[in-house]
Amino acid sequence: MTTSSVIPIQFRELFSLQKAAGINQANITLQNVSMESDKYIVVREIVGKSVHVVIFDTDKPNEVMRNTVNADLALMNPSSKILALKIGNTLQLLDLEQKAQIKKHIASEEIVLLKWINEETIGIVTGEFVYHWTVAGNKDPFKVFERHCTLSNQPIVNCRSDFQGKFHFLVGISAKEQQVIGSIQLYNNESKKSQLFEGHTACFTQFKAENNSKPISLFCYAVRSKNGVGKLHIVQLSETQKRNQPYQSKTDNFHFHTDETDDFPVAIQPSKSGLLYLFTKLGYVHLFDIETGTKICNTRISDKAVLLSTELKEDDEVLCIDGSGKVISVGLDKSAIIPFILKHHKNTELALKFASRYNLDIDGLTSDNNKNDQPVAIQAHHQCQSVQQSSISNGANSGISNGTAPMPLFESTPRNVLVFKENVGRIGSVSLTVTNRETHAIYFKIKSTSSRFYSICPENGIIQPKENVEVIIKPSDDSLANLQEITTKKHKFLIMSAIVSNLAVQAENFWKGKKHFSEGVYSKKLKTKVQKTPHNQQNSEQRKGSTNKGKLSNNKKGKQMMEQKASETIEIPKADLGETSQQSEGLLEKRSKKTSPIPENLETILESDREQSQQLASPAPESFQGFELVPRVAETSNNSKGVSVQEPKVEANRSNSSVNRLYAQYSAEIALSLLEKMSARDAVQFRIELNSFLENYEAKFLGE
């Protein structure tokens, strides 16, 4: 395997503006030169008191078009011979082939910058606003967004829009304390909001990753920070499309030459193959890989400042103009890139990516049996990518998620099945824990195939790296009325997740319109199971509260007395209930209006409960051995003295109090079963009232 110290950047001078048309170097400035594509270059040349507009065709640099036009700004359409001119506050679009004026507009504001947004639209920057003006039609320029106040006093050097026209940016540059300060305003056309970044240059690009079916819209910007270190940022703007993996934001540091304290980024240009060429004021170029965000290398291509750059459409290269008027093509040296990465980065995976991308060979890894004459390592790389892509496709076909990766973003506990427990005709809540396995924050959302039966808390949110969240899934009001459907049908729950690329976006807003098969969403299904409590265990649980310290008698005498008492009418003294009883009754009456009709299976359960209540109403006296029953004390009002009177301690009170106490306990069980039918707020209020009732009753009945 060979290694190389050769910098894998190749560049060459295509032609010179000075030599081709005799342009004076004094006229080669950012204000006088424009290059909107690799097709045309326009120079505004000042000769004496006149102004010439000189147009270069890059394919025929020696055949220039020169016209005397007293224009302040001039730039050619990226693909056609349409020239945009600014003369004072007048804008003109001229068809050079037809030698005719297409459109004209007189602006009411001072125009500071013109840039072609695309072949059909030109961007106009004024002191306060950014406008767009279309070539077709007779419409005047329309306002797109307002300049941020931070850029109000800065000269604007660039204005661009992304491929879909959803995002736009402005770049302003100014000098402060012997430093060049750069500000970037990024405007979202959909949300009508702006974000401000510290940066000197920026660009939009459409990047297609190896495993993705469609390109992703990215925003790249670079800055020289106050400590002298350069930073490149790459972030995804658009939503991840179907069968695409989301792009993880990248940030990489780069360093300027130690002797160049006044150097800073001036242009950044993407290539078709996923590279970024970052140019600096002093003629350096830094090469980055977009997919990994890795800086590959840097070199100096000119001793003059780089003014402008654009993509070379025919080749995988970029075009730039330096301060001397040299037009330079810059590209990747494919013969040197693999040895350079292996030697200086010692990154085999990155080398394989470049080898696969450019169909390059890696010395020492070639197989003699390779029919396609591709390295074994590259074949393995393709195979690995193919398996991952197959997993994604299979996930989509199975209805799980097109974004299901071999290693999911989260773990769930339980992993596969949620077990609900049924007891006395109601289903209890279950707990689900979702753990973030990633080093990035993730969004999560839980949903059910039968959402009307369940309430989920929390339903969505953000989980920080390596942390977890506990989700409570509780059967809703409809679950009691549809118990048979829940137990027989297999309901499912879906856990959806996605990487957080912008923490400013809340989970609720992120999940709007998202489906489990949406781009960049990783999903997992959980089955449900209802576990029925055995009948004898149900009876045991029902009697647990009523037995307390004593035990129910099962002898014949006790049963006879139960049957006798079951036929009697039981009256509950009002003094035992008081105001708390009335509040609870009102709440139950309020909730009863919203309850669903009782199905036959529930009616059977309630009938069984009624029979049991009759048995509990009249236990044998000996079944309460160990209780010291205290006569009930009733507070009655004396009209004349307002004193309390204690009722006589008669044996009848002992018997009635025992029965009433059991009846109250069973009533409490019925009330608790109704809690499952209430909202969380009503349930809390009901429990407070019920506890108050029980405490008051016990205090009066037992004298505690």
Find the Cα–Cα–Cα–Cα dihedral 131, 136, 140, 141, rounded to 10°: 0
Distance CA 584, CA 694 (A): 12
For residues 656, 661, 662, 663, the Cα torsion angle rounded to the nearest 10 degrees is: 80
Q: CA 53 to CA 50: how far, in whole Å?
A: 10
**With contact defined as beta carbons under 8 Å apart, do 401 and 523 qualify?**
yes
Cβ atoms of 57 and 352 closer than 8 Å: no
Q: Could you report how far apart the first and last alpha carbons of the chain are, in Å?
A: 91
3-state SS class at 552: coil
Mapped onto helix, strand or coil, the DSSP state of residue 299 is strand
Beta strand 522-532 with 417-423 is parallel
Compute φ and ψ for 220, nearest 5 degrees: -120, 135
b/e string for 225-244 if b means 16 or more Cβ within 10 A? Answer: eeeeebbbbbbbbbebbebb
DSSP string, 472-487: EEEE-HHHHHTHHHHH
- What is the four-CA torsion angle of 218, 219, 220, 222, rounded to 10 degrees? -160
Residue type, 405: A
Question: Over 144-210, what HEC string results?
Answer: EEECCHHHCCCCEEEEEECCCCCEEEEEEEEEECCEEEEEEEEEECCCCEEEEEECCEEEEEEECCC
Burial class (CB in 10 A: 0-12, 13-18, 19+), 520: buried
- Using CA atoms, how far residue 280 sits from 96, 179, 298, 370, in Å, is 34, 15, 11, 44
pLDDT reported for residue 373:
46
pTM of the model: 0.55
pLDDT at residue 484 in the model: 62
- Distance CA(420)–CA(436), nearest Å, equals 25
641/345 Cα distance (integer angstroms): 98
Question: At a CB cut-off of 8 Å and minimum separation 6, what does 208 contact?
Answer: 214, 215, 216, 274
Q: Which helix (H) or strand (E) holds 86?
A: strand 82-87
Give residue 485's pLDDT. 64
Amino acid at 456: I
Number of other residues whose CB lies within 10 A of the CB of residue 686: 20
CA distances from 396 to 77, 245, 448 (A): 43, 13, 19
Task: Identify the structural domains of the chain with CATH numbers, from first to last.
Answer: 410-532 (2.60.40.10), 535-702 (no CATH)
* Largest interatomic CA distance in the chain: 128
> What pLDDT, on the 0 to 100 scale, is given for residue 172?
95
pLDDT in the model for residue 477: 59
Predicted local distance difference test score (pLDDT) of residue 615: 47
Q: Strand, coil or helix: what is 326?
A: strand
The residue among 138, 146, 253 whose CA lies nearest residue 189 is 146
What is the token pair recorded at 435? 């753990």
Order of all β-strands in the sheet with 9-16: 9-16, 326-332, 317-322, 306-312
Query: Which regions of the chain are under pLDDT 70?
Result: 1-5, 362-408, 423-426, 477-490, 502-504, 516-517, 519, 533-666, 668-669, 671-672, 675-677, 679-681, 697-704
CA–CA dist 678, 694 (Å, integer): 20
Tokens found for residue 109: 């504001």
Amino acid identity, position 304: K
Which residues of 416-499 form beta strands (DSSP E)?
417-423, 426-427, 430-436, 442-448, 454-457, 460-463, 468-475, 492-499
For 172, the token pair is 């302003």
Tokens of 624: 């309460």
The answer to whether the beta carbons of residues 477 and 594 sit under 8 Å apart is yes
Asked whether the beta carbons of 71 and 51 are under 8 A apart, the reply is: yes
**Strand extents, DSSP E, 437-585:** 442-448, 454-457, 460-463, 468-475, 492-499, 522-532
**What does the alpha-carbon distance between residue 64 and residue 102 come to, in Å, rounded to a whole number?**
22
Residues 616 and 542: beta-carbon distance below 8 Å: no
Quote the CA–CA distance of 156 and 127 in Å, as a whole number: 9
Closest CA relative to residue 442, chosen from 520, 389, 516, 518? 520
Are 562 and 618 in contact by the 8 Å Cβ rule? The answer is yes
Q: Rounded to whole angstroms, how far apart are CA atoms 45 and 52?
A: 5
SS3 383: helix
Q: What distance in Å separates the CA atoms of residue 267 and residue 322, rounded to the nearest whole number?
A: 11
**Quick one: which H or E segment has residue 285?**
strand 284-289
